[in-house]
Amino acid sequence: MSVIENLKDKKILIWGYGREGQSTRQFLKRCCAPASVEVFEGKREEINEDKYDLIIKSPGIRMDDDSPKYTSQTELFLEEYRDRVIGITGTKGKSTTSAMLNHVLTHVYPGKTILLGNIGEPCLNFFDEITDDTLVVFEMSCHQLAHVHVSPHIAVFLNLHEEHLDYYPDMESYFNAKKHITSFQKESDVFLVGEDVPEIETKAKVIHMPYDTEGDYGLQILGKHNVCNANFVLKIVTEVLGLDRERAIASLADFKGLPHRLSFIGEHGGVRYYDDSISTIPDATIMALEAVPDAYSVLIGGMDRGIDYTELIEYIRSHPEYRYICSYDSGRRIYDEVSSLDHVYYEETLEAAVRLAKSITPEGKACILSPASASYGYFKNFEQRGEMFKDYVYKDDDARI
């Protein structure tokens, strides 16, 4: 039975009314004929579950157990179209890899490709646009995967790092959510997995992907990690889908990347500025410093989600050639460990941190916003943080000493 038929004449509750909740309501109105649709934004214990046939939960709402009465956008979409979906998850790089894959497929795949999911486009917005020749590139977050019971035909798990520990009680719970990308695959499916991802039981054909930074693809985006992302893309396009390798490599050189991911925002006062606001873990900040030519200063800090900063603290101690400007709660936590070092600073806000960076970064060098922390509590999201960084860079023309 199709999803449309299954939803017919059902009493449905949409739990959560953010971007996905609103998209779900439009989907039900546009494509389905439910008996009723209600919206709720409160706590689970306030829901009268007996009143509804189905409850469609938004991904940001935490629910610790599974219940057959609950589903999600992601699960509904996969129930209908899993055979056409390439699902991509991982702690870091999933947006860039998804966008890169979609870019390459538009050049080498003869049919239609659609990029959706956590990258900003709710999947049900496209439910009635999928045709027989459509390939769907679906960026999947841990929250979207947490309660699904269907996996995509081609699944990609790039990497696993400590993250989202403000939401999940421990790393095991976080990993358990993400591994659903392959847990329900079939023998005819394919699973590509990075070398630092723990073993997952799956029926799919497994392709182990090493952290391979070799490959001269003429990429416009910085960082060895993006060469690794490109190798995932080429493996999918050429070996899994059997498409032309030379055309795929040629198209990689045209990929311009996504905003707030080591994005060059301009030169000001002789200093080059890069926005890596997407950086929420220590490893991302370290990779940013090693990717940007003539990097000198880096702005660190944001919401403290309790992740382990030992790796970054040790890097700060052993790399005095950079200037580290810490801010906010996680920045204070890092600074307190290395405050005796004269190449580490603390400023309360991003604006003050940018002002200091302008005064200490020599001409010809680069300054990077790469916070190693979430933006929440100080900014609406990482996008706003990146835009405010850019505004502060160009705000005080007389800030340099």
Residue 398's pLDDT band, with cuts at 50, 70 and 90, is very low
Q: Is 63 exposed, middle or buried (0-12, 13-18, 19+ CB in 10 A)?
A: middle
| Percent of the residues in the chain that have a pLDDT greater than 70, as a whole number | 99
Residue 400 predicted with pLDDT over 70: no
Residue 396's pLDDT band, with cuts at 50, 70 and 90, is low
Q: How many CA atoms lie within 13 A of 232 on its CB side?
A: 37
Q: State residue 397's pLDDT score.
A: 56
pLDDT tens figures, 141-171: 999 999 999 999 999 999 999 988 888 889 9
Q: What is the mean pLDDT of the chain?
A: 96
pLDDT tens figures, 72-94: 999 999 999 999 999 999 999 99
pLDDT tens figures, 233-289: 999 999 999 999 999 999 999 999 999 999 999 999 999 999 999 999 999 999 999
Reduced to 3 states (helix: H, G, I; strand: E, B; else coil), residue 1 is: coil
Could you tell me the residue ranges of all domains in the chain?
A: 3-71, 74-252, 263-393
CA torsion sign for 46, 49, 53, 54 is positive
Query: Residue 57 CA to chain centroid, in angstroms?
Result: 20
What's the CATH class of domain 263-393?
Answer: alpha beta
Domain 74-252 annotated CATH 3.20.20.80: no
